[in-house]
Amino acid sequence: MALVTLCPGCGTTFRVNAAQLQAHGGDVRCGQCQRIFNGFATLITVNESAIEYPLQPVVKTEATAETYLPVSHEEHVAPDWEQTDANSSADLFGDEPVKKSWGAWGWGSLLLVLVLIGQIAFANRTKLTMIKPEIRPHLEYYCALIGCQVPYPQDIRQLGIESSDLQKNPARQPEVTTMRAIISNHAHFPQAFPALQLLLLDAQGQVIASRIFTAAEYLPEENNTRQFIQPQQEIDVRLDFDSTNLGALGYRLQLLYP
């Protein structure tokens, strides 16, 4: 037995197999009239002999819509709509319908994928510069086209204070205290300059004063417009402030991102 499906548009029949239909969800296109229909809906089984031997036309009678005419003992007859061959399914499952559908669905899907990639890259643009710092110029270029920026990473765990020192100068009026420190970036990517929080302590280690300094305040004047510290770079910091009547005996210095 063989599986045959019938085009409801023009009556052309095609030999198929279940695997072909299942692979296409049952949807096929008629190679004659180009109509798309569900092959499962008109699926029947016929004898192999009805396909492999010459076929006779159908005679219509009042008793039945289709009657088979007898022929010689070497031939088997089937209705004219079963006239097909083993290669007829190529008209249903050929490459041409796929190529036509790619024009609309394929390019549309590709566009959606590109838009999705762009949205992911925009939302994670800073993280991408941490993974591959060399792509920052490209991200900055495309970001400039849409009016956005690529912020520098802020991983406080990879910044460190290598050394610090606090010295008073009682000879100056008002009394001036100078803070010196060295900040280093241990990351393999540039980072935004952190803020410095200076805590002044009394004899019992209690905080008696606190102040946060931004990069514009603690960087040298020629560098106070810079936005980032390079990988493996060290920055010398100097802060002069009025400590009159504070009576601080200790201090604590820490880095933070506001």
- Tell me which range, 15-24, 61-70, 111-120, 236-245, is most confidently predicted by mean pLDDT: 236-245
Q: Torsions phi, psi of 216, nearest 5?
A: -65, -25
Give yes or no for residue 72 having a pLDDT over 60.
no
Compute the chain's Rg from CA coordinates. Answer: 41
Q: Determine how β-strand 2-6 pairs with β-strand 13-16.
A: antiparallel
Residue intervals in the chain for CATH 2.70.50.60: 156-256
Q: First vs last Cα of the chain: how many Å apart?
A: 78
**pLDDT tier for residue 239 given thresholds of 50, 70 and 90:** confident
> In the beta sheet, which residues pair with residue 253?
198
AA identity, residue 15: R
The mean pLDDT of 101-128, rounded to a whole number, is: 77
**pLDDT tier for residue 55 given thresholds of 50, 70 and 90:** very low
At 83 the pLDDT is 44
Q: What is the DSSP string of 104-135?
A: IIIHHHHHHHHHHHHHHHHHTHHHHHHH-GGG
Q: Say if residues 222 and 170 touch (Cβ distance below 8 Å).
A: no
Q: Say if residues 179 and 165 touch (Cβ distance below 8 Å).
A: yes
Dump pLDDT digits (tens) for 131-157. 888 988 988 888 888 888 899 999 999
Higher confidence at residue 221 or residue 198? Answer: 198
At 122 the pLDDT is 77
Higher confidence at residue 194 or residue 107? Answer: 194
Dump pLDDT digits (tens) for 210-226. 999 998 888 887 776 78
Q: Say if residues 71 and 50 touch (Cβ distance below 8 Å).
A: no
The mean pLDDT of 176-198, rounded to a whole number, is: 93
Give yes or no for residue 251 having a pLDDT over 50.
yes
Entry pTM: 0.51
Cis preceding linkage at 151, omega within 30:
no
Give yes or no for residue 166 having a pLDDT over 60.
yes
Q: Hey, what CATH topology would domain 156-256 get? A: Coagulation Factor XIII; Chain A, domain 1 (2.70.50)
